[in-house]
Chains A and B, each alone.
Chain A
Amino acid sequence: MRKLSRRRFLKGALNGGVVTVALPLLDIFLNDNGTAFADGMPIPTRFGTWSWGLGMSKSIFVPKKTGPDFDLPEEIAALASVKKHINLYTNFHVFQDDAPNLCHHSGWVVLRSGIAPLTRENRPGETIDVAVARQLGNATRFRSLSATATGDVRDSFSYENGNSVNTPEWSPLRFYQRLFGDDFQNPNASTFTPDPAVMIRKSALSAVQEEARKLEKSVGADDRARLDQYFTGLRDLERRFDLQLKKPDPREACIVTQAPQDLPVGLDAGLLSTRHRMMTDLMLMAVACDQTRVFNMFYASAFSATTKPGYDKPHHTATHEEAVDPELGYQPNTSWYTRRAMEEWAYYVQALADFKEGDGTLLDNAFIYATTDQSFAKIHAIDGIPMFSAGTAGGRIKTGLHIDGGGTPGCRLGYTAQQLMGLDIQSWGDKSNNTSSAISEILV
């Protein structure tokens, strides 16, 4: 049999959706070109998510042209400087099937977990970032990190299971202290001395694990699952202790800055922007320092309550109560909010592109998956929900494209992302959201 090149394989296997070749996906997707640090160490792949609230104004958001050289309508004009780094996905659908359309909930839950929730209380069993972190997160201090620009600790789209949210970092100062406090091992430090306390901690863990196991036997099934999760967490702690006993590899882009000042609470768009940029800078420095390879940034919640100076309706209220301007063909204040979100998305992408890494940048070695909760929020529409990606995942993704999904499941992008990250899955999503069809147009 003639040896397939990786490119040929992908084109053939993924276009149309039937994957029948039983090769380990991780190997298949490895980069032929072998991007590496100057010292020859391979550069790790990273996975990030980004989220904004309340969709788009379709008439001024969706480009007329697809493929490369797509136009940038006014609502996404802010993306001009990062257009070459991103892909825009439109006309992809989220399907509710027999589940109700839960306002501002069904959309993001499907795109992050693949499953349409039956009630507002249905949480995703496991979100995509958690699945990816199991694959990518074992070599870093944090399996994943989550941060929100809203200043609200309750804002997270990252779930380990229905009862366990990955709490986001919400305060810049606290985030800095967590990342670069006493526990931080600077990868570029000239010396490395393992802390004997870490070895003792590790040896003491077995007794704690034993207690957890003993306790599990005394409780009912639901509580046993929670204690089992705790036990799993203790094992992860052991992994982290092991990491602390090894000298970290140097990272050229890792430069720890001064601790930031904290910000007041509030959701004024300007304040939100400042907080988003501070949290982004911290998060990406953590990535550059290889403290994590999976990271979630939350710009605004699904029910975004961002406020605009001099306007008496927060973002979500505006989406519903503001009339569509008959001359403009869209809701001007609502669009103002979306434009602010696009400016922040551009900042985030550019910040990734500004970190030098090997012969390229951090963005070259990352894949960012950006989602929202509605397409046209005014009527709670979830068909044609827009998505973005950024980064080339180590040269394996083409960028600068506008992809028209033709009404296919939005879960295709999540599926493609998981395949890129090496997850051995044959399909992703439930019922009509299920897909085994990667978005082949973006694959190199």
Chain B
Amino acid sequence: MLLTGCERQSVVSAEPPQSASPIRTRLLTDKQYVNTITQVFGADISESVLPPIPPMERTDGLLASGAAFVGVTSDQISQIQLAAATVAQKVVDEEHRDFLIPCSPESAIAADPVCAGLFLAETGRLLLRGSMDETRLAQLVDVASYAAEQTEDFYDGLALALEAILISPEFVFIVDSVEPDPERPAQQRLDSYSLASRLSFFLWNAAPDDALLQAAENGELHTPQGLARAVDRLLASTRLEEGMRTFFDDMLAFDEFNSLAKDPRVYPMVTGTTLEHAREQTLRTIIDHLLVDEADYRDLFTTRKTFMSMPLAALYDTATGDGWTRYEFDDDSPRIGLLTHVSFLAANSHAVRSSPTLRGKALRERFLCQKVPDPPPDVDFSTLEENEHATTARERLDAHNSNPSCAGCHLITDPMGLTLENFDGAGIFKGIENGATLDISGELDGIFYDDVDGLATAMRNHPKLSACLVNRLYAYGTGGPVSLRYDRDSLKWLENRFVDKNYQLPQLLRELALSQAFSSVRSPQAPENATIAAAGIIGPLSHTTKSSPSLAKTDALAKAGNF
């Protein structure tokens, strides 16, 4: 059936009626821990501890989605307790107590339940992301009083009560709480505190602030106008940048930089600082393009605008001033879009050489949400041995294409990876390889091109590009991997809204935060574990898409792999 333009418009503008997301119990991520402590107590307090949170499993492309599944070992709880003790001691020390504690005790060497109660009620509300009931508050005040008597110090007592909040599972886990939806009989929605948390962690990657909690307490968040007002405030805040930086750092798997190093004998210009700047350059480019300019998401893959710093300038063979400055590559430069940033090129290479396969794999998995299968265990490497002394990577990787068991996967990674072979393992431009001019022509899903510009344009126009961003943001916002079984229609609707809004990120964030899918929850009986899915699985093997950083550690595994 053909739809007219108006009919199409009406179809895509209405959110599917059954849109809802799962109830989640998420562990705070390390950044959420830090951001929350910073928001409540200040940066100097959060900087005094290393976040005691275990690393997450990358699940369906995001570490953040792993938070819905990870458990906390006994050893990690002891680290949470040690961090809690450090934070609590600093909050009450002489340097901080006057502006972090809203009252002074009658005596500094005795219990003062009134002052303790005031502090614990206020602070507990912010840390636990909702008001405490009277029983709980009374228990904490009792702890503070008993401890003050034992230690003969009001502030030590208060610190021990604060410590109890900071090791509470309600602080460490973000537990969704639901209630019947009065607008939709027999359906459930997040209660207002849980909705406030979901919004705040989505857009700021931190706990709700006082104003958002107030909006939850007075029922505003469950009115369309109140919700829109709250979302617009969150979107207008400077904290949005922190939230989106974290999201894109996660989506691009930049956690890889935490252990990334290049062999200094091969790449003497590349230090730890250089790599940190490479990560920062890409994040600055993304934030500037998407949040400051509110430009088309797809243009990130073709823009020549970026930022430059002194450590990076040497790698880009250019000059720059001190600090970070805006920079634009020339029109005839081989640098075009995110794929030609040092960050992407270096992170998806070996320590000693580039890897077309890793780059192609990353391009598909990070930006198109496709899954490239692992090599089969019985793969025959004899042709690779014969090509060991090949002049170029293309010659070396020809072995992949001539061997049917390799070709199935390598044909979906190598053609676009080889287009980036003008950049070495550190992302530095090289005109030739071992004296040979490089053939950088290639193909991406039926689009043939001659050079990097062609690859960049093919990426920009790839039909999965915007769907992938929508998929990842939906997972990030609702706290776990998407389910194609349940979320397919909602995702399609959101993608259409994104298209209608000219691929502008703030508009997509707003649509998602205001959507029914975001605040409504579907039956907990839905079998979530069986439905984790990415936007696409390609290649000859069928794979689930949940991966483990520690054991599967897909990206790092591949990095060490035969590529």
Contacts from A to B (Cβ < 8 Å):
100-105, 109, 119-121, 123, 142-145, 150-156, 160-161, 163-167, 174, 178, 183, 196-197, 199-201, 203-205, 207-208, 211-212, 215, 218-220, 222-223, 225-227, 229-234, 236-237, 240, 264-268, 301, 303-305, 307, 309-317, 320-323, 378-380
Contact = CB atoms under 8 A, between A and B. Distances in A.
B215 interface: no
Given A201-B160, A230-B169, A236-B74, 5 more contacts: A167-B75, A178-B79, A201-B163, A208-B168, A312-B352
A316 B57 CA distance: 23
Contacts of A119: 544
B437 interface: no
A206 B562 CA distance: 53
A166 B75 contact: yes
Contact of A265 (B146, B259, B552): B259
Interface residues of B, number: 82
B381 A103 contact: no
B549 interface: yes
B164 A320 contact: no
A305 B164 contact: no
A29 to B, nearest CB: 26
Contact of B151 (A109, A178, A196, A323): A196
24 contacts: A103-B374, A104-B557, A105-B551, A119-B544, A120-B552, A120-B554, A152-B556, A153-B259, A164-B71, A164-B72, A165-B550, A166-B75, A207-B140, A220-B524, A226-B70, A230-B77, A233-B77, A268-B351, A303-B553, A307-B263, A313-B352, A316-B561, A316-B562, A323-B385
Contact of A143 (B74, B548, B551): B74
Given A120-B547, A236-B78, A321 B169 contact: no
B377 A103 contact: yes
Interface stretch (B105-113, B171-179, B409-417, B512-520): B171-179
Nearest to B26: A223
A166 B377 CA distance: 28
Nearest to A300: B560
B376 to A, nearest CB: 8
Interface in B330-354: 350-353
Given A199-B150, A227-B25, A301 B261 contact: no
A316 B562 CA distance: 7
B350 A314 contact: yes
A264 B272 contact: yes
A119 B175 CA distance: 29
B445 interface: no
Contact of B150 (A196, A225, A227, A309): A196
B143 A204 contact: yes
Given A103-B374, A321-B562, A322-B388, A200 B160 contact: yes
A102 B553 CA distance: 13
B272 A265 contact: yes
Given A144-B75, A165-B550, A312 B353 contact: yes
A417 to B, nearest CB: 21
B161 A204 contact: yes
Interface in B510-563: 524, 529, 544, 546-554, 556-557, 559-563
Contact of B548 (A123, A150, A212, A220): A123
Nearest to A315: B560
Q: Which of A102, A164, A200 gathers most chain B CB within 10 Å? A: A200
A203 B563 CA distance: 56
Contacts of B167: 208, 234, 237
A227 B173 contact: yes
Interface in B60-88: 69-79, 81-82, 85
A303 B557 contact: yes
Contacts of B136: 207, 211
Given A226-B72, A230-B172, A321-B388, A167 B351 contact: no
A163 B69 CA distance: 7
B54 A165 contact: yes
Contacts of B544: 119, 121
Contact of B55 (A154, A231, A264): A154
B310 interface: no
